[in-house]
Structure 1
Amino acid sequence: MSTGTRADAGVAGKPVAPARTALVTGASRGIGRAIAVGLTAAGLDVALLARDAARLQDVADEVTAAGGGRAVVVTADVTDAGAVAAAVAAAEAEIGGIDLLVNNAGRVDAEVPLWEADPDEWWAILETNVRGPFLLARTVVPGMIARGGGRVVDLNSGAGSHDMVGASAYNASKTALLRLGANLHRSGYDRGLRTFEVAPGVVQTDMTGSMVMHQGRTEWTPVERTVEMVVAIAGGGLDAFSGSFVRVTHDSPASLQAALDDAARDERVVPGPDGRRLRVTRWGDDDPMPGELPAR
């Protein structure tokens, strides 16, 4: 089994062809819709997945009017294993094997302390935000590997990399998703799988508009930054950052490419074994815990 050593040493690994097809979850509105439209504008054929067929058809009609790649509609609840399997099969029957999976579907819980959280709502958030990406990857990735490789993008969040107050299910789920993506990276890199955790910043959507922490906000992260990043990932130019967390409020395809260019000049490793990974922070130089934790 791969340990991820080659990837974490900054070695490029075998080349993976640019994506020709994609599946985007949560594609009926918000960030997912923008990503799907952006990918088809870049020439990819895209399967649009969500629960609302009518909304998805609106997106498909928009794509058809704009030209570019094709868009096909498949419906599923991402927490339902059978529905996910059927949706992926239907998508692949229409556009061929999926080269790029974008796990975008997500929910947020009430912004209350954990001890005030509703247990059923709390678990439902985990189901959508963690079980959903797990089921999609479990269904799509084997085909990617059989064809020589592919890419998975998880729409993550600052909630995956930072502590939060309230919304404990969202905080826990995005942290778990970050770890899930790292596991995919280590397990699949040598088999041609490239995995990315992309945080879109604070985009103005139905979800963020409902959150107390964003009430009164006037500055939002343009969704185009996320679209630009996902399109660049689809093209293969950012494969050196597989396994990494990127946040579009700070990163762009150009800035990441500049980091690679700098690394080539002074032989630094980008992103390296600890770069943009989830780690326990040492309390100082006298902390006996090593910088990199043991495997077990």
Structure 2
Amino acid sequence: MAEGGPDLGGTVALVTGASAGIGRYLVQGLAERGAAVAGIARSAGRLEQAMAEVARSTGARTLAVPADVTDRAAVEAAVARVTDELGPVTLLINNAGSIDAAEVPLWETDPDDWWQVVESQVRGPYLVSRAVVPGMIAAGGGRVIGLGSGLGTRGSDVYSAYSAGKTAQMRITEAIDLAGAAHGVRAFDLAPGVVDTEMTRAMAMHAGRTEWTRPEDVVALAVAIAAGELDQWSGRFFRAGADDLATLRTTPPPDGARQLRLRPYGDTDPVG
């Protein structure tokens, strides 16, 4: 088990997009702290290899469940298998998703390609959360993490689908928080910053970048959430590499902090 940080023994975690990139780091970090971890990804071979590697290096129980998170039947079957083999999921990390490959203004995009990106960021987290949360409630509660992005808090000239999808995902997080609080279910948006992955290196906005967010910082935030150390921030947005865990643990958020809200133009703004 990893030194430092909370023990996650007894936690059953489900990570989507688990075979590579940030998802792979999260699987490793959770398993190192004692969680049983199931991973979902579309590529069966790559996923099975990744989960087997984690099991060998950590001694944790892992499960590879190939599935497309935008396919309702596949998601429901995958969650049922995880529940049967590992038990009810108490930590869900919605990490899977794609980004605009064309990097062009919205009016120059291919409609099918654009919508596929949005589906990966919205339909995927929706379907997986819908399948997982009832089991969390029956088990007494749990936590849902959506992998967020700064592009979910602002617009973009060439990543319009990704930005739209990540913004919508923040609304999914808030919806889970508002309806789930009474049942012990909490939800968070965790922006990983800019981790050195295959996807980020393919993005023009990161060409020539030499400074990256450490994967350990992303894992540390996810582990703190899983351990219940940041429950007062449920329904809100974190950013790895910028947020300080010690501060988050001891700071209750004021109303509206780290949530998407309209900014009033002044005291007399009727909408504000």
> Any unmatched runs of 5+ in structure 2?
1-7
- Map of 2:257 onto structure 1: 275
Q: Distance in 2 between matches of 1:133 and 1:253?
A: 25
**Structure-to-structure mapping, 1:34-45, within 5 angstroms:** 34-45=25-36
> Any unmatched runs of 5+ in structure 1?
1-16, 260-269, 291-296
Q: Distance in 2 between matches of 1:46 and 1:130?
A: 23
Note the alpha carbon deviations across 1:238-278, whole angstroms, 9 max, x for none.
Answer: 1111001011122132221132xxxxxxxxxx223311110
Q: Does the CA contact (< 8 Å) of 1:37 and 1:59 recur in 2?
A: no
Partner SS, residue 13 of structure 2:
strand
How many residues align structurally?
264
- Map of 1:142 onto structure 2: 134
Is 1:24 paired with 2:6?
no
1:223 deviates by: 1.2
> Normalised by the size of structure 2, how large is the TM-score?
0.93
> Which letter maps to 2:150?
G
- Map of 1:6 onto structure 2: none
- Map of 2:4 onto structure 1: none
Match for residue 253 of structure 1 among 245, 249, 260: 245
User: Given the superposition, is the C-alpha separation of residues 281 and 191 from structure 1 closer, same or farther in structure 2, using an over 3 Å criterion?
Assistant: same
Please provide the CA RMSD for this pair. Answer: 1.4
**Structure-to-structure mapping, 1:49-64, within 5 angstroms:** 49-64=40-55
Q: Distance in 2 between matches of 1:160 and 1:250?
A: 16
> Which letter maps to 1:101?
L
- Map of 1:111 onto structure 2: 103
- Map of 2:3 onto structure 1: none
- Map of 2:71 onto structure 1: 80
User: Given the superposition, is the C-alpha separation of residues 18 and 287 from structure 1 closer, same or farther in structure 2, using an over 3 Å criterion?
Assistant: farther
Q: Distance in 2 between matches of 1:117 and 1:18?
A: 46
> Which letter maps to 1:104?
N
Is 1:99 paired with 2:90?
yes
1:222 deviates by: 0.9
Q: Does the CA contact (< 8 Å) of 1:209 and 1:215 recur in 2?
A: yes
Note the alpha carbon deviations across 1:50-106, whole angstroms, 9 max, x for none.
Answer: 011211122222222222421111010000000001111111111111000000001
User: Given the superposition, is the C-alpha separation of residues 187 and 18 from structure 1 closer, same or farther in structure 2, using an over 3 Å criterion?
Assistant: farther
Residue identity over aligned pairs, in percent, reads: 51
1:18 deviates by: 8.2
Q: Does the CA contact (< 8 Å) of 1:197 and 1:244 recur in 2?
A: yes
